[in-house]
Structure 1
Amino acid sequence: MSQSNFSALRIGLFGAGRVASAVGPALAAAGHQVVFVASRTPGPAAALAARLPGCVALPPAAAPLPAAVYLLAVPDAAVPSLLAATPWPVGAVVVHLAGALPLAVFATQPSVRGGVLYPLQTFSPGRVIDWATVPLFIEAADLGTEALLLGLARSLSPKAAMLDSVQRLHLHLAAVLASNFTNHLLGLAQTIVAEAGLSFELLHPLVRETIDKALAAQPSAFAVQTGPAVRHDAPTLAAHAAALAAHPAWQALYAQLTASIQAQAGLPRAA
């Protein structure tokens, strides 16, 4: 627990997917009581509830049990319908965990106290998260909810801060570029080396050095860009395009990324 005046909270958790499966145990480890897990998928909800002391699984149509905070760890698109379908207690603190969803989503439910608790991290089954390193961003409709959520966030991580919906949207966009798109490109790289009968492990040292170098770069990662695009190495670019002939979508993506790198570097686009 990272705050000296820690106050344990009763928490209701909606969702049983990747985020909920990471947040629920973290809350329990921090000393909070997760009183229920509610989900449209009974099996995962029951499995997650079984991992949390004193927690029960609820069917999706059930009225929520009393709690100090209700966390909506569900896909962004499911939040509005969940808000509308749930019989919330008057004055309930209802909080979503989404990066791109504004606080204004709670405007349709004036009887609840809306808030946001956004963990800037990627979650996958089997991966252990060090919550002390995870930035948590708070937004709330009123000062009381803000203070409550800030205390909750600080019980999980010392890296808790306020952030409004516009800033959070841009941070989420940057996170998608840095994490999700990077992961996709690594998947393409893994497929390409596998098609050539090679091991993806050959690229591990390069990937680690690329990430470490980009994180340390000043004033930005653009300053340490390398490769045939920034060198304007037309023969190599053409050879790579030819090698991607069996994957025309990837070939187009390669061309688009090459053009973006060259535009950022102020170079003319390759023919």
Structure 2
Amino acid sequence: MADHSLSSSLRLGLLGAGRVAAALGPALVAAGHQVVFVSSRAPGPAVALAARLPGCRALPAAEALGALPPADAYLLAVPDAAVPALLATLPWPPGAVVAHLAGALPLAVFEAAPLVQGGVLYPLQTFSAGRAIAWPTVPLFVEAATPAAEALLLTLARSLSEHVAHLGSAQRLRLHLGAVFASNFTNHLLGLAQTLLAEAALPFELLHPLVHETVAKALAAEPNAFAVQTGPAVRHDAPTLASHAAALAAHPAWQHLYAELSASIQAAAGG
């Protein structure tokens, strides 16, 4: 379990009401904190999320706020591209601890708001509506511009997760890049597989045991998942590769992707 003994109750402002905020808000409350407000561009999501958080108010778009309600920290659960503008335009209380939740944004983004104590609270997880998150298992990575902000964010992170560490911007970017390959690209490839089977009137469930074993085997082979690669590309099975390419004639973009991935597999295996 996460270490709640390290945490006093913090008053937190949550800017954003999307998938990450919808998962994080209830987790913060469960960890003993109070989310004092939720703000989002669209009022509906903020109202819906605030209704799930005791004592929380739904506020209008952050840009329309005349002043921010007092809080121990403000968490920016907004798209990466929106962070610089929010930092530059909002009426932040001097000295406020403000943290974004992004993997790819450096700590240097807080140079746009020199009066705040900037920080990062990055949860290494994928978030989707309707999916419960086991927060004690989620790696949380913290970085901050001041010792005080880092101490607060570490305390907050440890109240949520058993896996908390400091991580600098450069390593966090590389971690986020790896996460895109491991999660986002994998999800996309599974979507392609699902479509190909559907075109042949085959259920995607046929692939479930294969997918589970593939992931389990790759994780067990750490640190060299390449070592357990199988399939026609790694064994240079030219007839099968050609048959697959022909079967993808109706999907030229996927045909190209198949060829590129096959070439990458062969290169990783040493040609």
The alignment's TM-score, normalised by the length of structure 2, stands at: 0.97
Q: Which residue of 1 aligns with 2:241?
A: 237
Q: Which residue of 2 aligns with 1:128?
A: 132
Q: Which residue of 1 aligns with 2:198?
A: 194
- 3-state DSSP class of the match of 2:130? coil
Q: Which residue of 2 aligns with 1:264?
A: 268
Q: What does residue range 214-225 of structure 1 map to in structure 2 within 5 Å?
A: 214-225=218-229
Hey, what's the Cα distance between the residues in 2 that align with 1:55 and 1:242?
Answer: 57
Q: What does residue range 5-20 of structure 1 map to in structure 2 within 5 Å?
A: 5-20=6-21
Q: What does residue range 1-271 of structure 1 map to in structure 2 within 5 Å?
A: 2-60=3-61, 61-62=64-65, 63-267=67-271
Aligned residues: percent identity? 76
Hey, what's the Cα distance between the residues in 2 that align with 1:219 and 1:168?
Answer: 19
Hey, what's the Cα distance between the residues in 1 that align with 2:198 and 2:258?
Answer: 18
| Shift, 1:236, TM fit | 0.2
With 88-97 and 3-12 compared, the bigger mean Cα shift is at: 3-12
Higher relative contact order (CA 8 A, sep 6+): 2
The one-letter amino acid paired with 2:93 is P
Q: Structure 1 unaligned segments of length 5 or more: list them.
A: none
The one-letter amino acid paired with 1:36 is F
**Which runs of structure 1 show a deviation greater than 6 angstroms over 4 or more consecutive aligned residues?**
none
| Shift, 1:5, TM fit | 3.3
| Shift, 1:152, TM fit | 0.3
| Shift in CA distance, 219/91, structure 1 to aligned 2, threshold 3 Å | closer
| Shift, 1:218, TM fit | 4.1
- 3-state DSSP class of the match of 1:230? coil
Q: Structure 2 unaligned segments of length 5 or more: list them.
A: none
Hey, what's the Cα distance between the residues in 2 that align with 1:219 and 1:207?
Answer: 19
Pairwise CA RMSD: 0.8
